[in-house]
Amino acid sequence: MKITSKGQVTIPQEIRERFGLLPGTEVAFVPDGAALRVVKQKDPPGRGKKIVQRLLGRATVRMTTDEILDLTRGE
């Protein structure tokens, strides 16, 4: 099996069927000594949670919620 230039690997159909890896299934890559395990995620985060995790800690403006709302309302 080879990794493509985009970093992709095709998981053989037999393995996908055996482990229930359907299109859209979330997996994690877990280092295991000198090996790497692909683990099916049991409870993957939803789209909203992924967005929040990505944005968490990126704000640079130190304003309270009330101050931000005043700005958006034009007060």
CA distance 30 to 18: 20
Is 56 part of a structural domain of the chain? yes
Residue type at position 11: I
Is 7 part of a structural domain of the chain? no
Domain that holds residue 32: 13-73
Is 61 part of a structural domain of the chain? yes
From residue 20, alpha-carbon distances to 5, 9, 28, 34, 73 in Å are: 26, 17, 15, 26, 50
Per-residue pLDDT tens digits of the chain, which is 75 residues long = 899 999 999 999 999 999 999 998 889 899 999 999 999 888 767 788 888 888 888 878 888 889 989 989 976
Is 4 part of a structural domain of the chain? no
Is 41 part of a structural domain of the chain? yes
Is 51 part of a structural domain of the chain? yes
Q: Domain count of the chain? A: 1
Task: Indicate the DSSP class of residue 46.
Answer: P
Note the pLDDT of residue 75.
Answer: 64
User: pTM value?
Assistant: 0.50
Note the pLDDT of residue 31.
Answer: 95
Under a CB-based contact definition with an 8 Å cutoff, are residues 20 and 40 in contact? Answer: yes
Note the pLDDT of residue 21.
Answer: 92
